Amino acid sequence: MFEDHIVKPCEVQAKNGMRAFDTLKDAAVLAANSDKPDTLFEAMSLFLSASQRSIEMQKQWQEDWKDWVVYASKLPGADTTSKLVDRQNNIALQASAQMSKQTTQTLELIDNIFVSYSFWLSQQAQAVRKKDDCGC
Protein backbone atom coordinates (compact mmCIF):
# COMPACT_ATOMS: atom_id res chain seq x y z
CA MET A 1 0.00 0.00 0.00
CA PHE A 2 2.77 2.44 0.87
CA GLU A 3 5.41 0.85 -1.37
CA ASP A 4 5.58 4.06 -3.40
CA HIS A 5 6.96 5.83 -0.35
CA ILE A 6 9.87 3.40 -0.37
CA VAL A 7 10.33 2.72 -4.08
CA LYS A 8 9.90 6.24 -5.49
CA PRO A 9 12.61 7.91 -3.37
CA CYS A 10 15.00 5.10 -4.32
CA GLU A 11 14.20 5.58 -8.01
CA VAL A 12 14.69 9.34 -7.78
CA GLN A 13 18.02 8.97 -5.97
CA ALA A 14 19.21 6.31 -8.43
CA LYS A 15 18.36 8.65 -11.32
CA ASN A 16 20.20 11.50 -9.60
CA GLY A 17 23.19 9.23 -9.03
CA MET A 18 23.34 8.23 -12.70
CA ARG A 19 23.06 11.87 -13.77
CA ALA A 20 25.84 12.81 -11.35
CA PHE A 21 28.05 10.03 -12.71
CA ASP A 22 27.45 11.18 -16.31
CA THR A 23 28.16 14.76 -15.29
CA LEU A 24 31.38 13.75 -13.58
CA LYS A 25 32.42 11.80 -16.67
CA ASP A 26 31.69 14.82 -18.91
CA ALA A 27 33.56 17.12 -16.52
CA ALA A 28 36.62 14.88 -16.77
CA VAL A 29 36.46 14.90 -20.59
CA LEU A 30 36.11 18.66 -20.66
CA ALA A 31 38.87 19.27 -18.10
CA ALA A 32 41.29 17.07 -20.00
CA ASN A 33 40.59 18.35 -23.50
CA SER A 34 38.96 21.75 -23.60
CA ASP A 35 40.82 24.54 -25.28
CA LYS A 36 37.83 26.84 -25.78
CA PRO A 37 38.32 30.18 -24.03
CA ASP A 38 34.55 30.69 -23.76
CA THR A 39 34.11 27.62 -21.56
CA LEU A 40 35.05 29.37 -18.32
CA PHE A 41 32.90 32.38 -19.20
CA GLU A 42 29.90 30.13 -19.89
CA ALA A 43 30.41 28.24 -16.62
CA MET A 44 30.61 31.52 -14.71
CA SER A 45 27.42 32.71 -16.41
CA LEU A 46 25.63 29.59 -15.19
CA PHE A 47 26.94 30.25 -11.68
CA LEU A 48 25.90 33.91 -11.80
CA SER A 49 22.41 33.02 -12.96
CA ALA A 50 21.98 30.51 -10.13
CA SER A 51 23.33 33.02 -7.60
CA GLN A 52 20.92 35.70 -8.77
CA ARG A 53 17.97 33.33 -8.48
CA SER A 54 19.06 32.36 -4.98
CA ILE A 55 19.28 36.01 -3.94
CA GLU A 56 15.81 36.70 -5.36
CA MET A 57 14.40 33.77 -3.42
CA GLN A 58 16.03 34.94 -0.19
CA LYS A 59 14.63 38.45 -0.61
CA GLN A 60 11.14 37.04 -1.12
CA TRP A 61 11.50 34.77 1.91
CA GLN A 62 12.58 37.73 4.01
CA GLU A 63 9.41 39.58 2.98
CA ASP A 64 7.28 36.51 3.66
CA TRP A 65 8.75 36.12 7.15
CA LYS A 66 8.25 39.84 7.88
CA ASP A 67 4.57 39.43 6.96
CA TRP A 68 4.34 36.34 9.15
CA VAL A 69 5.89 38.15 12.13
CA VAL A 70 3.32 40.94 11.80
CA TYR A 71 0.53 38.36 11.61
CA ALA A 72 1.92 36.27 14.49
CA SER A 73 2.45 39.25 16.78
CA LYS A 74 -1.25 40.04 17.02
CA LEU A 75 -4.13 38.04 18.45
CA PRO A 76 -7.24 39.92 17.26
CA GLY A 77 -10.53 38.46 18.39
CA ALA A 78 -8.81 35.86 20.56
CA ASP A 79 -11.03 36.51 23.56
CA THR A 80 -11.83 32.89 24.37
CA THR A 81 -9.58 29.91 24.95
CA SER A 82 -10.81 28.17 21.79
CA LYS A 83 -10.20 31.26 19.62
CA LEU A 84 -6.78 31.80 21.18
CA VAL A 85 -5.74 28.18 20.58
CA ASP A 86 -7.14 28.31 17.03
CA ARG A 87 -5.16 31.47 16.27
CA GLN A 88 -1.95 30.09 17.78
CA ASN A 89 -2.34 26.86 15.80
CA ASN A 90 -2.87 28.89 12.64
CA ILE A 91 0.30 30.88 13.36
CA ALA A 92 2.26 27.64 13.73
CA LEU A 93 0.70 26.16 10.58
CA GLN A 94 1.60 29.25 8.56
CA ALA A 95 5.21 29.05 9.77
CA SER A 96 5.31 25.37 8.85
CA ALA A 97 3.85 26.12 5.41
CA GLN A 98 6.47 28.84 4.88
CA MET A 99 9.30 26.46 5.81
CA SER A 100 7.88 23.80 3.51
CA LYS A 101 7.62 26.31 0.66
CA GLN A 102 11.22 27.43 1.17
CA THR A 103 12.47 23.85 1.26
CA THR A 104 10.62 23.02 -1.95
CA GLN A 105 11.88 26.15 -3.71
CA THR A 106 15.44 25.42 -2.63
CA LEU A 107 15.29 21.84 -3.88
CA GLU A 108 13.74 23.00 -7.17
CA LEU A 109 16.60 25.47 -7.61
CA ILE A 110 19.16 22.76 -6.85
CA ASP A 111 17.51 20.42 -9.37
CA ASN A 112 17.41 23.16 -12.01
CA ILE A 113 21.06 24.06 -11.46
CA PHE A 114 22.12 20.44 -11.70
CA VAL A 115 20.07 19.76 -14.85
CA SER A 116 21.27 22.98 -16.52
CA TYR A 117 24.89 22.37 -15.63
CA SER A 118 24.69 18.72 -16.69
CA PHE A 119 23.14 19.65 -20.03
CA TRP A 120 25.69 22.39 -20.68
CA LEU A 121 28.54 20.10 -19.68
CA SER A 122 27.29 17.26 -21.90
CA GLN A 123 27.16 19.67 -24.85
CA GLN A 124 30.71 20.82 -24.16
CA ALA A 125 31.99 17.25 -23.76
CA GLN A 126 30.18 16.15 -26.92
CA ALA A 127 31.94 18.90 -28.88
CA VAL A 128 35.30 17.76 -27.48
CA ARG A 129 34.54 14.13 -28.39
CA LYS A 130 33.55 15.09 -31.95
CA LYS A 131 36.77 17.06 -32.29
CA ASP A 132 38.77 14.05 -31.05
CA ASP A 133 36.92 11.65 -33.37
CA CYS A 134 37.60 13.70 -36.49
CA GLY A 135 41.22 14.37 -35.50
CA CYS A 136 40.75 18.13 -35.93
Q: Is residue 16 part of a domain?
A: no
Q: Is residue 97 part of a domain?
A: yes
For 81, 108, 124, 127, the CA distances from 120, given in Å and listed in that order, are 58, 18, 6, 11
pLDDT of residue 99: 98
Q: Is residue 132 part of a domain?
A: no
11 in Cβ contact with 74 (< 8 Å): no
pLDDT at 129 > cutoff 80: yes
Q: Is residue 86 part of a domain?
A: yes
What is the percentage of the chain residues whose pLDDT exceeds 90? 53
How many independent structural domains does the chain possess? Answer: 1
Q: Is residue 102 part of a domain?
A: yes
pLDDT band at 136 (very low <50, low <70, confident <90, very high): low
Helix, strand, coil % (nearest 5) of the chain? 90, 0, 10
Cα distance between residue 114 and residue 79, in whole Å: 51
Q: Is residue 2 part of a domain?
A: no
Q: Is residue 61 part of a domain?
A: no
pTM, to two decimals: 0.78
Domain that holds residue 93: 79-108
pLDDT in tens, 51-96: 999 999 999 999 999 999 999 999 887 789 999 999 999 999 999 9
Q: Is residue 84 part of a domain?
A: yes
